[in-house]
């Protein structure tokens, strides 16, 4: 059954289908292309509209927006500003692309001057004080046109806080895609460059998970489900295929995986050196992520994949 492409295709167990992919996009005050890692460049609101038009034409069904504000402060107030960068992008995109799924990343790290995902008290992230700010951010995204929100901050209790705030604002139908098992990973490097969100001191190990743990990932998922999460996401994807599989087997809700910036960058860099074929390596990696159990994949390859398919 392996002798010809047609036979292999007939019995293939896992297929890549563009409908399951989400393209990450960065929006900021100006357009700054990233020639080596194009999806990790940023667009102004106007240029974002053009980029999204191209994605929709290619058949990309969903995008997730990340904002880089003009100014940052201690609380990250740009995150919930009615006239903030993501809110303006949503208002530009929503009426133009009614069929496109608009997801937003809900976090404070791109908006805080210190780069941490919550507010600080005595040099430490204050979990509970951050919840109300994250909830406000989620509500403002939905008011501006987001179809679903994706909290990535890893504060305890944020899914519940966001669910309650969305319901209070009359958005009881808006789903929450939770970054439920998000590891403190070295693979976020290129993202932090792009989003200017590297912490100014310390690291995120006080709130993101230890990559050594899988039982803890299931516990995080269980708590998020109790709080009202609709989709559970594992991140990064490639180093955590066993975690994706465990989450898939433990829960009946849709499972997402985030194929993060470092996973993208390492294959891109190896391909640029001529060490491997990018398309083949990317398709193999993305297929493995789906085979491990992901229903939804967030990937910087989404645009290229649309072209390859």
Contacts with ligand PBG by CB under 6 A lie at 105, 107, 109, 117, 152, 188, 191-192, 197, 204, 260-261
Using the minimum distance from each CB to ligand PBG, give the nearer residue, 90 or 106: 106
Shortest CB 197 distance to ligand PBG, Å:
6
Q: Yes or no: say if 250 and 196 are a contact pair by the CB < 8 Å rule.
A: no
Shortest CB 295 distance to ligand PBG, Å:
19
Using the minimum distance from each CB to ligand PBG, give the nearer residue, 109 or 292: 109
Q: For the chain, how many residues are written?
A: 309
Using the minimum distance from each CB to ligand PBG, give the nearer residue, 26 or 87: 26
Any bridge partners for residue 149, and if so which?
104, 176
Environment class of 91 (CB within 10 Å of its CB; exposed 0-12, middle 13-18, buried 19+):
middle
DSSP 125: E
Any bridge partners for residue 112, and if so which?
73
Using the minimum distance from each CB to ligand PBG, give the nearer residue, 175 or 236: 236
* Per-position DSSP letters for 237-283, written without gaps between them: SGGGHHHHHHHHHH--S-EEEEE-HHHHHHHHHHHHTTSS-HHHHHH
Using the minimum distance from each CB to ligand PBG, give the nearer residue, 98 or 209: 209
And the tokens for 238?
A: 């490639």
Shortest CB 265 distance to ligand PBG, Å:
9
Shortest CB 40 distance to ligand PBG, Å:
8
Active-site residues: which are they? 182, 235
Using the minimum distance from each CB to ligand PBG, give the nearer residue, 10 or 236: 236
**3-class state of residue 298 by DSSP:** strand
Q: Which of 25, 8, 56, 81 is nearest to 298 (CA)?
A: 25
**3-class state of residue 105 by DSSP:** strand
- φ/ψ of residue 201, rounded to 5: -150, 155
Helix/strand/coil percent split, the chain, to 5: 45, 20, 35
CA distance 248 to 237: 13
> Which residues contact residue 244 at a Cβ distance below 8 angstroms, ignoring those fewer than 6 apart?
234, 237, 255, 257, 289, 292, 293, 294
Shortest CB 98 distance to ligand PBG, Å:
26
Shortest CB 205 distance to ligand PBG, Å:
11
């Amino acid at each position: 059954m392996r002798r010809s492409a047609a036979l292999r295709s007939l019995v293939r167990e896992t297929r890549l289908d563009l409908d399951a992919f989400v393209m990450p996009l960065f929006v900021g005050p100006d357009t700054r292309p990233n020639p080596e890692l194009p999806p990790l460049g940023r667009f102004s609101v106007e240029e974002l509209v053009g980029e999204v038009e191209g994605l929709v034409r290619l058949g990309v069904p969903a995008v997730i927006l990340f904002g880089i504000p003009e100014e940052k402060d201690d609380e990250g107030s740009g995150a919930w500003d009615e006239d903030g960068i993501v809110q303006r992008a949503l208002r530009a995109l929503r009426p133009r692309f009614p069929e496109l799924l608009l997801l937003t990343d809900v976090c404070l790290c791109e908006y805080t001057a210190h780069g941490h995902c919550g507010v600080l008290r005595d040099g430490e992230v204050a979990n509970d004080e951050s919840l109300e700010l994250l909830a406000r951010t989620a509500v403002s995204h939905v008011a501006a046109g987001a179809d679903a929100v994706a909290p990535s901050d890893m504060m305890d209790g944020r899914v519940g806080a966001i669910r309650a705030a969305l319901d209070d604002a009359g958005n009881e139908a808006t789903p929450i895609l939770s970054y439920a098992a998000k590891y403190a990973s070295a693979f976020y490097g290129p993202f932090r460059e792009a989003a200017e969100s590297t912490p100014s001191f310390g690291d995120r190990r006080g709130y993101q998970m230890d990559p050594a743990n899988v039982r803890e990932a299931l516990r995080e998922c269980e708590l998020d489900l109790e709080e009202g999460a609709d989709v559970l996401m594992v991140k990064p994807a490639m180093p955590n295929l066993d975690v994706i599989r465990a989450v898939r087997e433990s829960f009946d809700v849709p499972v997402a995986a985030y194929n993060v910036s470092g996973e993208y960058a390492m294959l891109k860099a190896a391909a640029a050196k001529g060490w491997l074929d990018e398309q083949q390596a990317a398709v193999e990696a993305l297929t493995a992520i789906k085979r491990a159990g992901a229903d939804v994949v967030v990937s910087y390859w989404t645009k290229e994949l649309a072209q390859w398919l």
